[in-house]
Structure 1
Amino acid sequence: MNLPNSITMSRIVAVPLLIWMLSPHFHGVAGWYGSAEIITSLAFILISISDGVDGYLARRRGQITTMGMLLDPLADKLLIASAYIALVQYNPHVVKPWIAVVVIGREFLVTGLRSIASSEGFTISASDLGKLKTVIQIVSVVAAVLDHGWHEWHFGWFVMPVDLIAVVGIYFMTAVSIISAVDYFVAFWRRIEKASTSSRSRENEFVLTRGKKDLPAKNVS
């Protein structure tokens, strides 16, 4: 197994660890107050960054493999799904069950559209909205985790509203997820329509060509 695939596999292995860190059991061994939230946030950031690292290394080294193409999206979906499912119990004030359903449903929808597109012979590349959604997901998860320990941070005269940032981040992420899902669906539908139109054109051309060949030859006097 090459290095990029090893990094991807480590991201999958880290999912149970993340679920444990988002449970009351981890708080009992974390130590001082707030350390569990900070450690969990840092761990999630590192795991999320590894997603870009393995892709970069695979392209740089020319080590793009079928296994990597299978494991990379699987690792992403497992990480996001486990994080939001655990956050429903970990911080229900910020992450409501319906939000987790929308986020996970969006991931399944996009995966399904890409699978159908692949079977039809074309690909749906990641849009700018999709990339923005990924960044906002990381920020919103970290904010929701930190909000579990602090309502706000005080830096002298400056007050950082951790709870407000978490709530706004989660709902903004949900909105972007829905919009990006619609964007993916529109792009998919356009490609399907284009492929269907091209197929009908080729069929009509074939019928016309066969019709010309079947016409009787004219007598030349």
Structure 2
Amino acid sequence: MKIADEWDIDNLPNRLTMFRIALIPVIIVSLFLQSTNLLVPYHLVLGHIAGWTFVMASITDFLDGYIARKRKIVTVFGSFLDPIADKCLIVSSLIILLALGRIPVLIVIILVLREIYIMALRLLSLERGFNIKVGQLGKWKTALQMIGIPMLMVNYPLLGIPFPLIGIIMIYATTVLSLYSATEYSIETFRKLKMARKEKVHKEVLQ
């Protein structure tokens, strides 16, 4: 894929990425206020603010990549910042839900370490000049995560729907898919790294 002005910051995809980062404090503050006794009548509202803000941030994650590819304005800055913004959103949300006692600590450790590991692999692949596409398992993981985390943020049944129960079930499913997709991503990344090394050795031999 053609890369536009490598360090161009002022374009729509990068603005969406930076907007996603700016939404993170809204989520944290809303959940913090929900956990206190100061605004008890507004706990449901605060949970919805946090949940829908997370959904909005997740949608920008899809949009910035789609627009960048569609308009061919992929930049080094965007490729670097986008995965960091994603991980900041997910990790901060998981940690605050852990602090509120809504997710088991082991699940958070697995998901956070997985996010850090995948980010490292992505940055390595970008540095080596290639990119690994997200597999089907990774897409399912993201979809479940996008639904499960907001449900746990709301933390109240709504219209007879047990948001907390459904949310935690989806997070457990997310954890399983995260491990499988990380394995799949690792295999593909190291396969391409091995191919790149072989091509490099072959070129050196020809010289």
Decide whether aligned partners of structure 1 residues 47 and 120 sit closer, same or farther in structure 2, where only a CA change above 3 A counts: closer
Give the structure 1 partner of residue 6 of structure 2.
none
Residue identity matched to 1:95: I
1:33 is displaced (CA, Å) by: 4.8
**Does the 8 Å CA contact 1:7/1:54 hold for their aligned counterparts?**
yes
C-alpha displacement at 1:74, in angstroms? Answer: 1.4
Q: Structure 1 residues 30 and 2 mapped into 2: Cα distance closer, same or farther (>3 Å)?
A: farther
1:40–1:145 contact (8 Å) kept in structure 2: yes
Range that drifts further, 138-147 or 114-123 = 114-123
Q: Any gaps of 5 or more consecutive residues in structure 1?
A: 211-221
Q: 1:200 to 1:60 in 2, by over 3 A?
A: closer
- The answer to whether residue 162 in structure 2 is matched with residue 161 in structure 1 is yes
1:117 aligns with 2:118: no
**Deviates most, 34-43 or 55-64:** 55-64
Question: Helix, strand or coil: the match of 1:160?
Answer: coil
Deviation, structure 1 residue 178: 1.0
The total of aligned residue pairs comes to 197
Task: Please state how far the C-alpha of 1:69 moved relative to its aligned partner.
Answer: 1.5
CA distance in 1, matches of 2:198, 2:43: 62
Instruction: State the shift of 1:119 in Å.
Output: 3.4
TM-score, length-scaled by structure 1 = 0.77
Name 1:22's counterpart in structure 2.
Answer: 31
Residue 128 of structure 1, aligned match among 120, 130, 136: 136
Structure 2 unaligned blocks of 5 or more: 1-9
Does residue 56 (structure 1) correspond to residue 66 (structure 2)? The answer is yes
**TM norm structure 2:** 0.82
> Is it true that 1:81 corresponds to 2:81 in the alignment?
no
SS in 1 for 2:62: helix
Using the alignment, how far apart are the partners of 1:18 and 1:153 within structure 2? Answer: 20
Residues 95 and 5 of structure 1: is their aligned pair in 2 closer, same or farther, counting only changes over 3 Å? Answer: same
Q: Give deviations 1:88-107, integer Å, cap 9, x for gaps.
A: 012x1x41122112111111
- The structure having more radius of gyration, on CA atoms, is 1
Preserved contact between residue 84 and residue 119 of structure 2 (Cα < 8 Å):
no
Task: Tell me how large the CA RMSD over aligned residues is.
Answer: 2.5
Using the aligned pairs only, state the percent identity.
Answer: 31
Which moved further from structure 2: 32-41 or 46-55? 32-41
Alignment of 1:8 onto 2:39: no
State how far apart, in whole Å, the 2-side matches of 1:134 and 1:25 are.
Answer: 25
